[in-house]
Amino acid sequence: MYDLILKNISRFITLTPEEEQYFTSILKIKKLKKKQYLLQEGDITRHEYFVNKGCLRTYAIDEKGQEHIIQFAIEDWWTADLGSFISQSPADLNVQCLEDSELIQISYNDLQQLYIEIPKLERFFRIIIQNAFVAAQKRIINNLSLPAMERYIRFRDQYPKIEQRVPQYMIASYLGITKEFLSKIRAQLTNH
């Protein structure tokens, strides 16, 4: 049940059997159906989530009601509205299942306690958040500096599994372009 999350953690730190037991004792499984929300704008993000199975999208809605996808998450990824989680304030973001999904959740209070009991986990979360920051910064650079076709090619190369599981119009939203423009790009790539 917790194999995937333990493997995920073992990439950066090594837990003793006792620590592993303590860590898994605070985990809870949450199952959601396709289209259900893990989190909606205005909710307080009470948990950090690890995707054990399934696929989700994180998006913001602008003043005109348009959706903008910030992140996709599939198996072996962490997800949440981190801004809402760390300040325990209302979320700006929505997190919705694109497939039936199984999440492993850690509550805010349990995580604070975990940092104290197992400081190695503080290291783990420092490292994964550093990696997430670097990825977010690369995305800002790409959005500022690369044409849409190149951004699409990189997205496909970087996340081949997501491309196959997510509707095209959501990929267009993630790239900040219309779905018509993405169709054009895909047609151009196919003809080459």
Chain residues in the site for a copy of itself (CB under 8 A):
60, 62, 66, 68, 70, 82-83, 86, 92-93, 115, 119, 122-123, 125-127, 129-134, 136-141, 143-146, 176
Choose between 60 and 100: whose C-beta lies nearer to a copy of itself. Answer: 60
Choose between 144 and 187: whose C-beta lies nearer to a copy of itself. Answer: 144
Choose between 74 and 93: whose C-beta lies nearer to a copy of itself. Answer: 93
C-alpha dist (Å) from residue 97 to 59, 105, 166, 187: 11, 15, 11, 29
Q: For residues 50, 53, 54 and 56, what is the CA-based torsion angle, rounded to 10 degrees?
A: 0
Contact 121, 13 (CB under 8 A): yes
Residue 121 Cβ, how far from a copy of itself at the closest point, in Å? Answer: 10
Residue 103 Cβ, how far from a copy of itself at the closest point, in Å? Answer: 20
Alpha-carbon distance of 183 to 189, in angstroms, equals 10
Residue 27 Cβ, how far from a copy of itself at the closest point, in Å? Answer: 20
Choose between 33 and 168: whose C-beta lies nearer to a copy of itself. Answer: 168
Neighbours of 80 (CB within 10 A): 25
Residue 145 Cβ, how far from a copy of itself at the closest point, in Å? Answer: 4
Residue 157 Cβ, how far from a copy of itself at the closest point, in Å? Answer: 17
Contact 77, 51 (CB under 8 A): yes
Which amino acid belongs to residue 100? D
Alpha-carbon distance of 127 to 93, in angstroms, equals 23
Choose between 29 and 135: whose C-beta lies nearer to a copy of itself. Answer: 135
